[in-house]
């Protein structure tokens, strides 16, 4: 038996039931002080974890109480939502996903962990791997987008950055896969709402990132708030016991989301807190976050033989195992001098690097970008987000400090120096402002300038948990501001900071370039300035589809083909001269009558200052046997005038399946830097196991048959080959 197992076994033998239930209880901190109630509970062994305490002095003190004044000296897990940075704030996770760069994401998570650990935190509730295809959902900002493959690759990188080779590096902290499972499919994009997802869709779309993280050794899982097919996840025995434990063999522990166990009663699953505690504990939730149903009712449930002591011991052993892996039994205290300074130069440089790779160039008419300093005498900078260091940080930045932020305005001033005049007008007080009082001043500034850089979007409060929107257009009077500025006859460069895709179709005729920057974090300004003035070429690609109109939602690249797929003549031009439209059922297709069936911008899309041409797709074999691999190659050439990075993407389609398959599925991607005129050979390798899916009997299988395969710079690429899988 290993030393860890011996230590845990010995502790379990010594622990009273009260102390065991204590390990299963997470309490909220008191935000900078140690309350007598919390201290007393820790002394009695009634606390396993504390959440939302970031004062190092307080954390060291509660660890001291736990280690030296409780009977068994068991240290505490200290949890915090370190989602996309601690003091150094990186782009929101959806923005990071646009980089398609696992290495950078791992580095950012490592820095986040080190900064958090220097303040005593040892557990973060990240990464969020909820697949979401509804940008109305506020928490779309917190995930990696719509695709299971991309999400899995980036989530593993983030986990590795936090956990650092099984907690062997300085500042390693435990990470948590959330929210298990289906939370991103909440009805109407409203947080906490019901999700109804067929099992085949759960297994093929929503579960894969969680399975990959479980296999990769993530420390913990978090059960979702949401009702999944009639059974809320925090009381869902099939989900937590049958799938996670038995089928996947996951050994880490499961924590509830904030008060989600007590909320089982509100859902209508249980009659009272006692029944909520039973359902959650029996389903397999090891630790209760903040609410106290376990503390109040587990003892009674064991006395009644509804729960067994073996169930309790299993939960406690998993919690103690993580504390052992983190080294807390050997050293529970934090010495800040062991760590680098918060928001130091290295951290800020990495923050800038990831913004450079996460911004997505969506429009660049007549190659108005990059801007040339030699051809400019004056630049107008307009917009409420142009000089707001707080709003550019985005959601989930409780510990972020806007004093570290460098804004677009500051960075542009630094870039152009004294030789070019900057005409700055805020235009709107915030992104929700409907007043047009400053429009005249903004228009005068643009008329006095050679070009206008307009920084608009969403304030940070408009996305994130519980911040869902029914209308995802530019809020307030922003569209009116754009149209006013467009009338000036100057090039309009629109820079958007937002926590989600926005519906922007109506303003596209009024702008010349569109750089989508998400909420970019601390170093958003300098990176955006480098992109605008050509020091760096945009290389980001969309991790989520942008709809033309809200009515298209959900819209995503890997939809099913349907029996009547849409065609170019599948909609009615609503503004045509009125004439009778004869009734017919012929030629109807799966689309909306009043908009084109395509998205505004598809998954995987993004322009750069280079131009890329793909050719010569081939496979190294026409047939591949199940259990073998195949190589798909193509060439990509930078036919443009400027060097740039291109993210090349591999997609497949299984033409016939036991259940209908998506029209395209991402199966690989590569980042390549190409000089003008340079050609690169691309080679992707896939195994037949990568083609497997859960069939109608919920069996993971690769079926023989014909497959199409594409390589290109976007999900709409047409460069196609095919191969056949045979037994």
Asked if residue 711 lies in contact with residue 649, where contact means CB atoms within 8 angstroms, the answer is yes
Q: Smallest Cα–Cα separation from 545: which of 701, 360, 398?
A: 360
Q: How many whole angstroms separate alpha carbon 398 and alpha carbon 140?
A: 18
State the DSSP code for 662: B
CB count within 10 Å of CB 488 equals 18
Instruction: Burial-class residue 345 by CB neighbours within 10 Å (0-12, 13-18, 19+).
Output: exposed
Query: Per-residue DSSP letters for 479-534?
Result: HHHHHHHHTT-S-EEEEEE-SS----GGGGGG-SEEEE--S--TTHHHHHHHHHTT
Q: Tokens in use for 272?
A: 């009272």
CA distance readout (Å), 628 to 181, 687, 703, 723, 725: 32, 6, 13, 13, 9
411 alpha carbon, distance to own chain's centre: 27
Are 650 and 710 contacting, i.e. CB atoms less than 8 angstroms apart? yes
Distance CA 540, CA 360 (A): 5
Catalytic status, residue 257: yes
- CA-to-CA separations, 719 to 375, 598, 650, 714, in angstroms, rounded: 39, 19, 10, 11
Question: What is the rounded distance in angstroms from the CA atom of residue 580 to the CA atom of residue 307?
Answer: 69
Task: Give me the catalytic one of 130, 134, 257, 388.
Answer: 257
Cα–Cα distance for residue pair 513/453, rounded to 1 Å:
10
Instruction: Give the whole-angstrom CA distance, residue 99 versus residue 647.
Output: 9
d(C-alpha 403, C-alpha 305), whole Å: 56
Give the H or E element holding residue 277: helix 273-283
Quick one: tokens of 714?
A: 């976007």
The token pair that represents 354 in the structure block: 């990831």
Nearest partner of 15 among 323, 325, 316, judged by Cα: 316
Contact 346, 84 (CB under 8 A): no
**Cβ pair 596, 608 in contact under 8 A:** no
**Cα-Cα end-to-end distance for the chain:** 44
Instruction: List alpha helices for 383-477, DSSP H.
Output: 408-416, 439-447
CA distance 674 to 612: 9
Q: What is the rounded distance in angstroms from the CA atom of residue 640 to the CA atom of residue 653?
A: 31
Catalytic site residues?
257
């Amino acid at each position: 038996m290993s030393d860890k197992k011996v230590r845990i076994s010995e502790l379990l033998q010594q622990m009273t039931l009260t102390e065991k239930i204590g390990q299963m209880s997470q309490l909220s901190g008191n935000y900078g002080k140690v309350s007598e109630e919390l201290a007393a509970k820790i002394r009695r062994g009634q606390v396993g974890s504390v959440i939302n305490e970031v004062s190092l002095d307080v954390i060291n003190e509660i660890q001291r109480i736990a280690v030296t004044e409780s009977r068994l000296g068991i240290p505490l897990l200290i949890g915090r939502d370190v989602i996309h940075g601690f003091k150094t704030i990186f782009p929101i996770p959806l923005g990071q996903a646009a980089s398609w760069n696992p290495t950078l994401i791992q580095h950012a998570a490592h820095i986040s962990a080190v900064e958090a650990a220097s303040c005593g935190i040892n557990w973060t509730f990240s990464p969020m791997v909820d697949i979401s295809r509804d940008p109305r959902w506020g928490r779309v900002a917190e995930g990696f987008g719509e695709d299971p493959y991309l999400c899995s690759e980036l989530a593993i990188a983030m986990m590795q950055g936090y956990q650092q080779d099984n907690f062997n590096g300085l500042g390693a902290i435990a990470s948590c896969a959330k929210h298990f499972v289906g939370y991103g499919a909440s009805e109407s994009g409203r947080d906490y709402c019901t999700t109804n997802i067929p099992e085949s869709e759960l297994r093929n779309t929503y579960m894969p990132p969680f399975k990959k993280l479980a296999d990769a050794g993530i420390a913990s899982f978090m059960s979702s708030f949401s009702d999944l097919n009639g059974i809320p996840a925090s009381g869902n025995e099939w989900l937590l016991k049958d799938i996670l434990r038995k089928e996947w063999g996951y050994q880490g522990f499961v924590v509830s989301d904030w008060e989600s166990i007590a909320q089982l009663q509100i859902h209508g699953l249980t009659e009272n807190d006692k029944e909520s505690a039973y359902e959650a504990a029996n389903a397999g939730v090891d630790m209760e976050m903040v609410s106290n149903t376990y503390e109040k009712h587990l003892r009674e449930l064991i006395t009644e033989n509804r729960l067994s002591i073996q169930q309790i011991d299993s939960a406690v052993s998993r919690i103690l195992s993580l504390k052992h892996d983190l080294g807390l039994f050997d050293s529970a205290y934090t010495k800040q001098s062991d760590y680098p300074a918060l928001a130091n130069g290295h951290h800020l440089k990495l923050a800038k690097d990831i913004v450079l790779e996460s911004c997505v160039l969506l429009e660049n008419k007549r190659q108005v970008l990059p801007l040339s300093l030699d051809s400019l005498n004056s630049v107008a900078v307009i917009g409420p987000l142009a000089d707001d260091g707080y709003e550019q940080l985005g959601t989930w930045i409780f510990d972020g400090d806007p004093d570290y932020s460098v804004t677009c305005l500051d960075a542009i001033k630094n870039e152009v120096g004294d030789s070019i005049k900057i005409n700055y007008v805020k235009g709107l007080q915030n992104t929700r402002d409907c007043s047009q009082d400053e429009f005249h001043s903004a228009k005068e500034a643009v008329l006095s300038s050679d070009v206008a850089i307009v920084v608009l979007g969403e304030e940070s409060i408009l996305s994130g948990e519980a911040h869902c929107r029914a209308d995802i257009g530019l809020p307030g009077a922003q569209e009116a501001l754009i149209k006013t500025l467009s009338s000036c006859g100057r090039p309009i460069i629109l820079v958007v900071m937002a926590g989600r895709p926005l519906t922007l179709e109506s303003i596209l005729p009024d702008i010349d370039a569109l750089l989508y920057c998400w909420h970019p974090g601390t170093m958003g300004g300098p990176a955006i300035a480098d992109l605008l003035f050509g020091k760096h070429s945009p290389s980001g690609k969309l991790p989520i589809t942008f709809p033309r109109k809200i009515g298209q939602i959900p819209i995503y690249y890997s939809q099913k083909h349907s029996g009547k797929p849409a065609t170019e003549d599948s909609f009615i031009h609503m503004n045509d001269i009125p004439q009778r439209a004869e009734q017919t059922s012929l030629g109807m297709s799966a689309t909306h009558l009043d908009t084109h069936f395509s998205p505004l911008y598809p998954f995987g899309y993004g322009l750069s200052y280079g131009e890329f041409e793909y050719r010569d797709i081939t496979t190294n074999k026409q047939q591949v046997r199940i259990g073998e691999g195949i190589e798909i190659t193509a060439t990509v050439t930078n036919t443009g005038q400027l060097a740039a990075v291109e993210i090349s993407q591999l997609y497949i389609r299984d033409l016939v399946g036991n259940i209908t398959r998506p029209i395209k599925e991402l199966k690989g991607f590569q980042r390549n830097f190409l000089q003008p005129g340079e050609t690169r050979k691309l080679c992707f390798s896939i195994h037949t196991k990568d083609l497997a899916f859960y069939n109608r009997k919920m069996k993971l299988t690769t079926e023989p048959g014909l497959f199409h395969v594409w390589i290109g710079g976007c999900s709409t690429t047409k460069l196609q080959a095919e191969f056949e899988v045979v037994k």
